[in-house]
Amino acid sequence: MATLFNVLNTRSITKKIYVSLFYPFIAAYIKKERPFTHKGLRLRIMPGVFHPGFYFSTKFFFSFIDTLPLANKKCLEIGCGSGLLSLLMLRKRGDVTAIDINPNAIQNTALNYKKNKSQFDAALKLIQSDLLDQVRPTQFDFVVIAPPYFFDEVTNDAEYAWYCGKNGEYFKKLFSQIGSYIHPDTKVYMILADNCDISRIEKLGQAQMFYFELISTKRIWWEDNYIYQVIKR
C-alpha cells in the first residue's frame, strides 16, 4: 500500500512540475506555425490546431494504427487535426477520408498532405464537417477517433479539439450518426485517457447501443492512455 502511495505521489508531483514549467512554454510555442516530424511524416502545425507532439495520446494511437491491415480498406478519421493519423493510414494504402469541424484543421491537413504527397499512392479525401453531417453514407472498414473528451462548452475553433459540450453533445451526436457508416465487421477505435470521465462517455455510447472493449493500455509519465474498440450491439 505504501509503495502504491509513493508511486501515485511521484506521478502527481511530476505532473505538477510539468504543468507549472512546460505548459506556459507550450502555450507560447503553439501560437506560431511550427514544424513537426514523426516516423517519416513531415508536418507543419498551424496555430489553433491540436499539436500531436506535446500530448501523450497521439503517438500511442499512431503506433497502434500502424499495426492495422489498412491496405485497400475504407478508412475514416473523425477529427483529423493536423492530419498525422490520416496520413499514416494513407501511407499504409488505405482509402482514407479525413474530417474535422475546425476549418483551420482542414487547411492544416491539406497542407501536410501536399508536403508528404510523394509517400502516397492515392489521394486523401478531406471534408470539413460537424461530425458526419457532410459525409455521404459510406460503410467504412476502419474508423479512428481521438475525441474531445472534457465536458465543457466550446467557445472558439481551437477548443473543438478539447471540449465535447457540457452534456457530452459531441458523443451524443457521434453515437447517433456513426451506425449509418459501419458494417458488421467495421473496426471503430477510440483513444481516451485517465483524466477524462470515461464512465460518462461509455454511458452515452450505451444509450445508442455502443459498447467499449479495452484493446490496449499505456502509461506515459503520469497519464494512462486507453485504446477502445467501440462495438455496436
CA 29 to chain centroid, in Å, comes to: 21
> Which pLDDT does position 8 carry in this prediction?
38
Cell triple for residue 104? 483551420
Cell triple for residue 41? 511524416
CA distances from 20 to 26, 40, 52 (A): 11, 32, 20
In this structure, which amino acid lies at residue 36?
Answer: F
> CA-to-CA distance for 213 and 228, rounded, in angstroms?
5
Among candidate residues 144, 165, 156, the one with its CA nearest the CA of residue 83: 144
Q: What residues have CB less than 8 Å from 114, skipping those under 6 apart?
A: none
> Which pLDDT does position 207 carry in this prediction?
98
Among candidate residues 98, 172, 85, the one with its CA nearest the CA of residue 135: 98
> Which pLDDT does position 18 carry in this prediction?
53
The DSSP H or E segment spanning 24 is helix 2-29
> Which pLDDT does position 31 carry in this prediction?
75
State the burial class of residue 228 (Cβ atoms within 10 Å of its Cβ: 0-12, 13-18, 19+). Answer: buried
Among candidate residues 82, 76, 117, the one with its CA nearest the CA of residue 99: 76
> CA-to-CA distance for 62 and 83, rounded, in angstroms?
11
> Which pLDDT does position 55 carry in this prediction?
77
Contact by Cβ (8 Å): 89, 158: no
Q: Provide φ and ψ at 194, rounded to 5°.
A: -75, 0
Contact by Cβ (8 Å): 94, 71: yes
Per-residue pLDDT tens listing for the chain (233 residues): 344 334 334 455 545 555 555 556 566 766 788 999 999 999 999 999 999 988 779 999 999 999 999 999 999 999 999 999 999 999 999 999 999 999 999 999 999 999 999 999 999 999 999 999 999 999 999 999 999 999 999 999 999 999 999 999 999 999 999 999 999 999 999 999 999 999 999 999 999 999 999 999 999 877 899 999 999 98
> Which pLDDT does position 190 carry in this prediction?
98
> Which pLDDT does position 123 carry in this prediction?
97
Cell triple for residue 112? 501536410
